[in-house]
Structure 1
Amino acid sequence: MGKNVLWIMADQLRWDYLGCFGARHIDTPHLDRLAAKGVRFNKTYVQSPICGPSRMSFYTGRYVRSHGSTWNNVALKIGEMTLGDHLREIGVKCSLVGKTHMTPDKEGMARLGIEPDSTIGALASECGFEVIVRDDGTNHTDYPHRHGEDYDAYLRAHGFDGDNPWEEWANSAEGENGELLTGWLLKNSHLPARVPAEHSETAWLTTRGIEFIQAQGDQPWLCHLSYIKPHWPYLAPAPYNDMYGPGDLPPVVRSNAERETDHPLMKAWLDTRVCQSFSRDEVRDRVAPAYMGLIKQLDDEMGRLFDFLESTGRMEDTMIVFCSDHGDNMGDHWLGEKDLFYDCSARIPLIVYDPRPEAEATRGTLTDALVEGIDLVPTFLQYFGGEAKPHIIEGRSLQPLLHGKPTDWRAFAVSEYDYSTRQARLDLGLDQADARLTMIFDGRWKMVHVEGFAPLLYDLETDPDELSDRAPDPACAAHLQRLNAAHFHWARQHHARTTVTGAQMDLRAKRQEPHGIYIGLWDEADLAATNKILPDKASG
């Protein structure tokens, strides 16, 4: 049996908006069907609750402080090894259909004389992926250098023309007199997108993914099928636009005490425009049903995809992974967008279907093991038979959990956030270098280190909605101390020594100095004790 991987990623999908993770307000039978065949990882956290740095961690297997791409459009520095680099070394094709949010290090490539159009330059520019389709879901009129031309060409070929088909069809609705109503305005979220569902980006990317799989021969492959929805603009095609209404929404998770906080960071954050908008019930009631409709459409497309895999026998030789790059606050905690480390943002759904017989015992199960986004790279590498690279890859392979094997797993999960570009940083008067947050979560207690301010602390056992900051409570001082120590230990680890393996360092320690270098020897007896021989020219 051959080995392949289909890695599906949704953008901005909350973990708790899928039936298989306990949602009762939305029906997702097709992803639930995948979950019945695989393992649901119930406590999976991204390495940053924002697209770019989260994805760069997914694609490198490294923490944000390690790869350095701390924010959207901060280039992944040249030389960072990616999943594609690791897989190509062992003969596995690594291809992209969809979004990466990758920004290439053009200055670094120019300094090293790497032409962007060369084989190496093209791979480095695309985060190590061989691009079948690159679609980042960006307004191509305002950002003409961004990817999306394939989808624009597709729309034009099907009669959906215009200066910017992505904007004018996929992300616009029509008014009563045929005027264009932009999906960027939240008030229009209940309206149907002009594009028919079968020609929407979600359907188009599914088709492109199927076409890629159909074209594959005997070479093992990994396909990253990466959707841009249910990310904003929150505009769904019919019939998904009005499939749900305000009465279908789960209760909003927030308290008056949160809004009355005296924590400087949280006060500044709640004052930002997006949070002020999503704090209003009429905004959430208009937007969240569209968000649910986009999720429902994605699930339907998963049904089409899984039917194809089953009918072609690909379920027998293909590992299927489904996840998202982060969640969406959607009014919880008086917040909009993503950002910060509440579970609605930093926790994601992760389903892994392993076709191998060794995974039979865990099918349909759920685990509470603390999992990080960086765990997928080593999982894929081990699945394809590659050697582990712990000096480069900071994640852990999920294979022991998939096969029900006892393992010494991690004690805490880490996520980081650089908010230097956010309005809250300016309002706080912070230097951009100090706008840093780090989450340390041990499965119950979640601490947020806030550089320059008091930490935040939540007990998810007694307060699963994370409504009460326990950091000021003297009774919780021991938990703060313990998590601070865990943070300090993690921060002191080697994050950048990637050119030498641990085994090589052990060998250097055993051999001491390089051959021909003699330090601290008094006489020939000392030299003989080292089992070394002097060069001829030094023998006199």
Structure 2
Amino acid sequence: MSNPRKVLFISADQWRAECLSAVGHPVVKTPHLDALAKDGTLFKQHRTVCAPCGPARTSLHTGLYLMNHRSGRNGTPLDARHSNLAKEARKVGYDPVLYGYTDTSADPRGRPANDPALKTYEGPMPGYRIGMIFQDYMDAWMNDLSHKGYAFKGREDVYRPVDIDLPEGRGHRYRPTFFKAEDSDTNFMADLSIDWMKAHRDENWFLHCVFLRPHPPVVTPEPYNALYDPAQVPFPARKATPELEGAQHPYLKHWIDCFAKPNGYDEHNPNNLVTMPDLELRQMRACYYGMINEVDDAVGRLVAHLKASGEYENTLIVFTCDHGEMGGDHYTWGKELYFDPSFHIPLIIRDPRREADAGRGRQVDAFSESIDIMPTILRWLGAEPPVECDGASLLPFIEGRTPQAWRAETYMELDFRTTPNLGGFDAEAALGLKPDECQLGIIRGKRWKYVHFAASAPLLFDLENDPTEMNNLAQDPNHASVVLDYAQRMLSWRMRYAERTLTNLHLWREGVLDRRAAAR
């Protein structure tokens, strides 16, 4: 195929990288994604460069580290000057369509104060044509449920579990949704996407399809609720007590304290997320795995459609997600901790070109980052990534090669300043910080992981001997040289990747000297 025509960019939400049977998870089975990986390339060391949802998707679409796009919280405006994947794809003749969400907060400058776009962080990334944005999608899905005869009271009730007697050895999250699997929000999104692809079969197209799951609430339809026996589910990595765990760092302690109180992580759940019995904890993880299977089946439907329509051999398929999920590790949930499960996410790319045959079935161990997806798709389309892009194309790996001088570490950031929608998490008050002090940066290599706080003590983990990040070595005099080395590496990284749109242009007597190519 000499002229690639189609892009199917699939994103899930809150998916741990380990939760693929293709990488050897002891319990989870993901046959459809495994098949896609066998026919494509799987990146085993892929990480989002920031979290939570809005910031992670901003980096995914702009190709920028958080320190450059600065949209650090759900609700922090994204500067309108930045380009993104959709805008750049338009330059080469594509009309990218969005079904789902990018959680983009609009730049308020130049907008009237009452503009509805300034009252939500769930806006679309500029450049996408809207097939169906999340709010409309949820309304349409709930209307579909109502038309099918389901009774419920609205958004706050649509994910309620059925009140059934629990079988022995099953916990609260075994209870399924009141709607059938074929009527779920996941299948509704798959239906919308397939219908759209059917209507555009003979065209060049670019479709961004976003699944909500396995994002909470942790509840799933039959039969997914019963796929995994809690007794077979791995127990979270944690210390003996929440108190011992929280002693690692004040930031971690604050999160544990918040999860021990009523919070917004998982609606309709009567259990305390920190002190729940072991059975309930394993059952939550079992249900989470079932939610993953629900998305895996939906991805299988999308791929099956492309094969049936004859478009599979003309379509670049990218599967990833925004960020990870703690899943009870370190007594925490969600995605705003400095541990690997918050950042380590899946990435599978299936390239139909013959040039990619050498990379089929490959599992790449080199570090890749969410900012690499934008330049990868653009290069595949024959487009040049914008100068400001911090990521690098993954096409060499997909073609069976390994680029020279590829990154030896990966970099991640969290902005944890207080916002109105955090449901009790208030680091500014709890830790005595100013808003601009609520930031941390992470540099992670094969062995060492260093976490630097803007206004708190750092952390250092020896991942070879402590892969679950239990023992902070930053204050150990025997590791002072490692802390210094990694603090210097982080400073060098920030200097190399500081905003540079115009920094490699120079004005002199002959006009504009452009050295941007030499800087790459």
Q: Determine if the TM-score, normalized by the shorter chain, exceeds 0.5.
A: yes
SS in 2 for 1:84: helix
The separation in 1 between residues aligned to 2:152 and 2:256, in whole angstroms, is 39
How much has 1:8 moved relative to structure 2? 1.1
Q: In structure 1, what is the equivalent of residue 394 of structure 2?
A: 398
1:437 counterpart (437, 440, 448): 440
The separation in 1 between residues aligned to 2:298 and 2:402, in whole angstroms, is 36
Structure 1 unaligned segments of length 5 or more: list them: 117-122, 137-145, 178-186, 515-540
1:470 counterpart (458, 469, 473): 473
Q: Does the 8 A contact of 2:105 with 2:123 survive in 1?
A: no
The separation in 2 between residues aligned to 1:254 and 1:176, in whole angstroms, is 31
Q: In structure 2, what is the equivalent of residue 59 of structure 1?
A: 61
How much has 1:471 moved relative to structure 2? 1.4
1:489 counterpart (488, 492, 502): 492
How much has 1:396 moved relative to structure 2? 0.6
Select between 320-329 and 478-487 the one with higher mean Cα deviation: 478-487
Q: In structure 2, what is the equivalent of residue 141 of structure 1?
A: none
Change (3 A) 1:473 1:501: closer
Q: In structure 2, what is the equivalent of residue 383 of structure 1?
A: 380
Q: In structure 2, what is the equivalent of residue 45 of structure 1?
A: 47
Residue 89, structure 1, aligned to residue 91, structure 2: yes
SS in 1 for 2:132: strand
1:199 counterpart (148, 164, 183): 183
Residue 273, structure 1, aligned to residue 259, structure 2: yes
Q: In structure 2, what is the equivalent of residue 154 of structure 1?
A: 144
Q: In structure 2, what is the equivalent of residue 317 of structure 1?
A: 314
The separation in 1 between residues aligned to 2:512 and 2:365, in whole angstroms, is 46
Residue 307, structure 1, aligned to residue 308, structure 2: no
Change (3 A) 1:501 1:88: farther
2:463 counterpart (460, 465, 481): 460
The separation in 2 between residues aligned to 1:188 and 1:72, in whole angstroms, is 30
Percent identity reads 32
2:340 counterpart (326, 343, 347): 343
2:75 counterpart (73, 76, 79): 73
The separation in 1 between residues aligned to 2:201 and 2:512, in whole angstroms, is 50
- Per-residue CA deviations over 1:45-81 (Å, capped at 9, x if unaligned) read 1121311100111011111121121011222222221
How much has 1:282 moved relative to structure 2? 4.5
RMSD of aligned residue pairs (Cα, Å): 2.8
SS in 2 for 1:93: coil
Q: Does the 8 A contact of 2:248 with 2:472 survive in 1?
A: no
1:168 counterpart (148, 153, 157): 157
- Per-residue CA deviations over 1:463-495 (Å, capped at 9, x if unaligned) read 222222221222322222221112112222454
Q: Does the 8 A contact of 2:104 with 2:123 survive in 1?
A: no
The amino acid across from 1:403 in the alignment is: E
How much has 1:155 moved relative to structure 2? 2.5
The separation in 2 between residues aligned to 1:501 and 1:255, in whole angstroms, is 48
Change (3 A) 1:153 1:113: closer
Q: Does the 8 A contact of 1:49 with 1:341 survive in 2?
A: no
The amino acid across from 2:93 in the alignment is: G
The separation in 2 between residues aligned to 1:378 and 1:64, in whole angstroms, is 17
Q: Does the 8 A contact of 1:379 with 1:398 survive in 2?
A: yes
The amino acid across from 1:250 in the alignment is: P
The separation in 1 between residues aligned to 2:116 and 2:219, in whole angstroms, is 39
Change (3 A) 1:465 1:279: farther
Q: In structure 2, what is the equivalent of residue 519 of structure 1?
A: none
The amino acid across from 2:82 in the alignment is: E
Change (3 A) 1:351 1:262: closer
How much has 1:114 moved relative to structure 2? 11
How much has 1:6 moved relative to structure 2? 0.9
Q: Does the 8 A contact of 2:323 with 2:343 survive in 1?
A: yes
How much has 1:194 moved relative to structure 2? 1.0
| TM-score, scaled relative to structure 1 | 0.83
Q: In structure 1, what is the equivalent of residue 452 of structure 2?
A: 449
The separation in 2 between residues aligned to 1:20 and 1:125, in whole angstroms, is 32
The amino acid across from 2:146 in the alignment is: R
The separation in 1 between residues aligned to 2:202 and 2:372, in whole angstroms, is 27
Q: Does the 8 A contact of 2:44 with 2:365 survive in 1?
A: yes
1:368 counterpart (356, 360, 365): 365
How much has 1:218 moved relative to structure 2? 4.7
How much has 1:402 moved relative to structure 2? 1.0
Residue 226, structure 1, aligned to residue 210, structure 2: yes
2:250 counterpart (240, 264, 268): 264
The separation in 2 between residues aligned to 1:299 and 1:262, in whole angstroms, is 36
How much has 1:424 moved relative to structure 2? 3.6
Q: Does the 8 A contact of 2:163 with 2:175 survive in 1?
A: no
Structure ID, larger Rg = 1
The separation in 2 between residues aligned to 1:269 and 1:112, in whole angstroms, is 34
SS in 2 for 1:301: helix
How much has 1:414 moved relative to structure 2? 1.3
- Per-residue CA deviations over 1:413-472 (Å, capped at 9, x if unaligned) read 111111112334421111122111111112321111012222111122222222222212
Q: Does the 8 A contact of 1:253 with 1:333 survive in 2?
A: yes
- Per-residue CA deviations over 1:199-246 (Å, capped at 9, x if unaligned) read 101111111111121122554322111100010011101111222232
Change (3 A) 1:458 1:398: same
Q: In structure 2, what is the equivalent of residue 108 of structure 1?
A: 109
The separation in 2 between residues aligned to 1:464 and 1:396, in whole angstroms, is 27
The amino acid across from 1:395 in the alignment is: G
The amino acid across from 1:396 in the alignment is: A
Change (3 A) 1:488 1:501: closer
The separation in 2 between residues aligned to 1:395 and 1:486, in whole angstroms, is 18
Q: In structure 2, what is the equivalent of residue 533 of structure 1?
A: none
Q: Does the 8 A contact of 1:95 with 1:130 survive in 2?
A: yes
